[in-house]
A and B are shown apart, each in its own frame.
Chain A
Amino acid sequence: MISLLIDHGDRYIEGFLNTLTISVFALIGSFVLGTVLAVMRIASIRLLRWIGTAYVEFIRNIPLLLVVAIFYHGLAFLGLSGFMAGGIGLTIYTAAYIADAIRAGIQSIPKGQIEAARCSGLSYLQAMRFIVLPQAIKIVIPPLGNQFLNLIKNSAILGVYAGADLMYFGDQINSDTFDTFNVYLLVGVFYLLLTIPTSFAVRALERRMARSG
């Protein structure tokens, strides 16, 4: 394994960095999109609710591979690279799960909380900002952490579409060396370098949130 790292380290590192990049971008993108969708799903306007629900139900119930294929092959005229198509697909897919986690968190806050806030003259947005969201975030962090970990692991889908990620280079090194077991074991180690710190960070955040009341 050491010799693999010495001989092919540059490709491992490049794949690692690309996987890191796509994960960070998809994480930010899916968090923003997921929050918007969550707010749509609890909106008082029926059309918004309908759109939000349709999105979540549609995306959650088809395979990720298919979502990426739609962007890579289905919308080939857009000329997206495997990296871009994979990133967009990953964002759109993960946003559906994040939307559901955030919606569940908001809805788990007792109705009396927003009632009390609105009765004191706070607007809907103020009540959300000062009362509902600070309480919901504590509930949402664990499932959100899970989604972020899934996102990092799911990014291996890029390997299928020449996405220049860790999985893609792993496949390449394998076909060059035929040292299959060790090549993929090392790929696994690089994924763990991303996921284990993420997992620890989420748990630390959880603890900090639990302390603050």
Chain B
Amino acid sequence: MIGFEQVNKHYGSFHVLKDINLHIETGEVVVVIGPSGSGKSTLLRCINRLEEISSGHLTVNGYQVHDNKLPLNHFRKHIGIVFQHFNLYPHMKVIDNITLAPIRVLGLPEHEAKRRGLAYLERVGILDKAEVYPAQLSGGQQQRVAIARGLAMNPAIMLFDEPTSALDPEMIGEVLDVMRSLAQEGMTMVIVSHEMGFAREVADRIVFMDQGQIVEQAVAADFFVQPKEERARVFLSRLLHH
């Protein structure tokens, strides 16, 4: 479903992604971890072409992502993304945040988009907030709206770019709960996260990155018990002993 082959990316003279090879199957949940500045977010943002790659091949949903003729808007409607800072539209009510793209991109009639939007809001546990503006919600609630907004497009893949990093600790749980239930339903998910407990529990596979490279890929259970690479061991021990 997602395939990186010898992908490289440079920002000027800075080599952000180095020879990335990564294949993600339908229904797989992959958590990308690593120190800050290791290229995790850049890797994620290449998947829906928020970032351009410099060389190599990237295939997503059967599209060559960096083909000049890629129908970008059509391609992107099958990929949901949740950002660290939510990026909800502050001038629109919660329900309008969710229905905008289904109406304007998928062409759904307004009442149908609204019906679906409300169903997704119920699913993330904040049906009663449909008619308020994002600023009236807590961070955790805003992030759940952002997830509902992504799901409302009925995507094949959901991307999560550090979805809990901007949240107060007591709100992280409610967002992870929603993501956990998505994973259990078989959604294909790529998650950049620092939540090791969550990664261990939910991920089918852990991808560990450092300095722009994928250093280790392993089944979650194996990775956390016995990382093969020295850099991964150092990274994990720092997290555990701080």
Interface residues of A (CB under 8 A from B): 110, 112-113, 115-123, 126, 130-131, 134-135, 138, 212-213
Instruction: List residues of chain A with CB within 8 A of the CB of B81.
Output: 116, 119
**B92 touching A213 by the CB < 8 A rule?**
yes
**A112 touching B83 by the CB < 8 A rule?**
yes
**A122 touching B105 by the CB < 8 A rule?**
yes
**B76 touching A119 by the CB < 8 A rule?**
yes
Instruction: List residues of chain A with CB within 8 A of the CB of B16.
Output: none
**Provided the pairs A213-B92, A213-B133 are in contact, do residues A120 and B87 lie with their beta carbons within 8 angstroms?**
no
**Provided the pairs A112-B83, A130-B104 are in contact, do residues A120 and B91 lie with their beta carbons within 8 angstroms?**
no
> Dominant SS at the A interface?
helix
> What are 6 A-B contacts defined by CB distance under 8 Å?
A119-B50, A119-B76, A122-B104, A130-B100, A130-B104, A213-B91
Interface size class of B (residues with CB under 8 A): 20 to 34
A213 to B93, CA, bound (A): 8
Instruction: List residues of chain A with CB within 8 A of the CB of B76.
Output: 118-121
Shortest Cβ distance from residue B71 to the other chain A in the assembled complex, whole angstroms: 10
CB within 8 Å of A: which B102-119 residues: 104-105
A118 to B72, CA, bound (A): 9
Shortest Cβ distance from residue B44 to the other chain A in the assembled complex, whole angstroms: 12
- Tell me the number of A-to-B contacts counted with CB atoms below 8 Å: 61
| A116, A117, A121: residue with the most chain B Cβ atoms closer than 10 Å | A121
**B105 touching A135 by the CB < 8 A rule?**
no
Question: How does the 8 Å CB contact mask read for B67-103 relative to A, with 1 for contact and 0 for none?
Answer: 0000001101101110101011111110000001100
Shortest Cβ distance from residue A75 to the other chain B in the assembled complex, whole angstroms: 44
**Provided the pairs A120-B76, A121-B76, A121-B77 are in contact, do residues A126 and B87 lie with their beta carbons within 8 angstroms?**
no
**A113 touching B153 by the CB < 8 A rule?**
no
Q: 7 smallest A-B Cβ distances: which pairs?
A: A121-B77, A120-B101, A116-B87, A121-B105, A112-B87, A121-B73, A121-B76
Among residues of B, the one whose C-beta sits closest to the C-beta of A112 is: B87
Instruction: List residues of chain A with CB within 8 A of the CB of B217.
Output: none
A123 to B93, CA, bound (A): 21
Instruction: List residues of chain B with CB within 8 A of the CB of A138.
Output: 91
**Provided the pairs A112-B85, A126-B104 are in contact, do residues A119 and B90 lie with their beta carbons within 8 angstroms?**
no
Instruction: List residues of chain A with CB within 8 A of the CB of B74.
Output: 121
Shortest Cβ distance from residue B207 to the other chain A in the assembled complex, whole angstroms: 21
Among residues of B, the one whose C-beta sits closest to the C-beta of A119 is: B81
Instruction: List residues of chain A with CB within 8 A of the CB of B9.
Output: none
B48 within 8 A of A: yes
Shortest Cβ distance from residue B197 to the other chain A in the assembled complex, whole angstroms: 28
**B153 touching A121 by the CB < 8 A rule?**
yes
Residue from A110, A119, A122, A134 within 8 A of B91 (CB atoms)? A134
A131 to B92, CA, bound (A): 9
Among residues of B, the one whose C-beta sits closest to the C-beta of A114 is: B87
Among residues of A, the one whose C-beta sits closest to the C-beta of B78 is: A121
Among residues of A, the one whose C-beta sits closest to the C-beta of B100 is: A130
A130 to B149, CA, bound (A): 16
Instruction: List residues of chain B with CB within 8 A of the CB of A120.
Output: 76-77, 80, 100-101, 105, 149-150, 153
Instruction: List residues of chain B with CB within 8 A of the CB of A134.
Output: 91
Residue from A118, A121, A131, A212 within 8 A of B89 (CB atoms)? A131
Extra pairs beyond A117-B89, A120-B149 (20, CB < 8 Å): A112-B83, A113-B87, A115-B87, A116-B87, A116-B89, A117-B100, A118-B73, A120-B80, A120-B100, A121-B74, A121-B76, A121-B101, A121-B153, A122-B73, A123-B73, A135-B90, A212-B91, A213-B91, A213-B93, A213-B133
A118 to B75, CA, bound (A): 11
Among residues of A, the one whose C-beta sits closest to the C-beta of B105 is: A121
Shortest Cβ distance from residue B78 to the other chain A in the assembled complex, whole angstroms: 8
A126 to B100, CA, bound (A): 10
**Provided the pairs A121-B153, A122-B101 are in contact, do residues A113 and B50 lie with their beta carbons within 8 angstroms?**
no
Among residues of A, the one whose C-beta sits closest to the C-beta of B92 is: A213
**A115 touching B85 by the CB < 8 A rule?**
no
Instruction: List residues of chain A with CB within 8 A of the CB of B150.
Output: 120
